[in-house]
Amino acid sequence: MTERRAYRYYDLVMVGFVTVLVCSNLIGPAKIAQFDLPLVGVLTFGAGILFFPISYVFGDILTEVYGYARSRRVIWSGFAALAFASLMAWVIVKLPPAPFWDNQAAYEIAFGSTWRIAGASLVAFLCGEFVNSYVLAKMKLLTAGRWLWTRTIGSTIFGEGVDSLLFFPLAFYNSGILPNDKLPLVILVQFVSKVGVEIVFTPFTYKIVAALKRAEHEDYYDRDTDFNPFTLKP
């Protein structure tokens, strides 16, 4: 069982994780961005993809420094915050607008989301984050704490893989929004992009992890951890 103790920065990392998660899911999906890149061609993507992978960086930092059990509490906190934000957005969009307010259509585009998409996002997030945290914790034991980059990138490959494989079919299969035959390509592009962001952030992850381990005097190994995701016990 994880020993109870106070940490200086654990709460701040939790706030950062939840903030990135809610903003990337609430603000990012409303805009489709497009770049015409040399050699690559036209690249079209949902803007949220630029920031959502940062939540996995926070997840890696939490598990690496504080262990799976404390990361589990943060994941459930993020799930609760995301669920509330989705509910709040749905309620506010559905409220009848005042006759003199002309922005309802724009508001619906920015914050409106079907329950299917919101539900898919919640399910994919929860499964992906727990897979990410579990794989990192197990890899830390396997590598005896060496080669941090193998854990951060390896766990993200599994976590983001589960996230993408769950979200897009649940959200868009037979939805009429995205052709079914395009789903595999979209899943692949999203997966590669998210893992790419994790790789780019690896040097920053190293620095933050090292600083937190020094400040907290903690480098947790999940040797006797209960990996049941449905408990909040420390």
Interacting residues of 12 by C-beta distance below 8 A, sequence separation 6+: none
Residue 132 in any domain: the answer is yes
Residue 221 in any domain: the answer is no
Residue 86 CA to residue 123 CA, distance in Å, equals 13
Residue 47 in any domain: the answer is yes
Domain around 162: 10-96+104-216
* Structural domains in the chain (count): 1
The residue ranges of the chain whose pLDDT is under 50 are 1-2
| pTM score | 0.90
CATH number, domain of 55, equals 1.10.1760
Angle 148-172/115-142 helices, nearest 10 degrees?
A: 160
pLDDT value for 1: 44
Residue 231 in any domain: the answer is no
pLDDT value for 25: 82
pLDDT value for 234: 73
Residue 89 in any domain: the answer is yes
Residue 227 in any domain: the answer is no
Residue 122 in any domain: the answer is yes
